[in-house]
Amino acid sequence: MNHAPTLGEMVRTFKALSARAIREARFRRFAWQRNYDDRIIRGPVSLDAYRRYIALNPARWADDEENADRR
């Protein structure tokens, strides 16, 4: 029986394919964080908050507990 893929299946496939490509591009230590966080965005205020988080989050990587090269 065919079915539309679930969000979890799509995320798992994206992570697997992109991780393989990234590692083949000589970033051998690359690894995705274990799960993902999905939320329903219910209005413009929360949408703006998530947009801000996405825009600013990469700058916080240097201090992230998951970063093996953390300062």
| Span 17-68, pLDDT tens digits | 999 999 999 888 888 888 877 888 999 999 999 999 999 999 998 888 878 7
Tokens of 69: 């090269």
pLDDT at 68: 79
Give the residue, 70 or 55, on which the prediction is more confident.
Answer: 55
Average confidence (pLDDT) over 10-14: 93
pLDDT at 34: 81
Average confidence (pLDDT) over 12-18: 94
What phi and psi values does residue 62 have, to the nearest 5 degrees?
-60, -25
Contacts of 15 (CB under 8 A, 6+ apart): 32
Can you tell me the distance from the alpha carbon of 68 to that of 48, in angstroms, rounded to the nearest whole number?
30
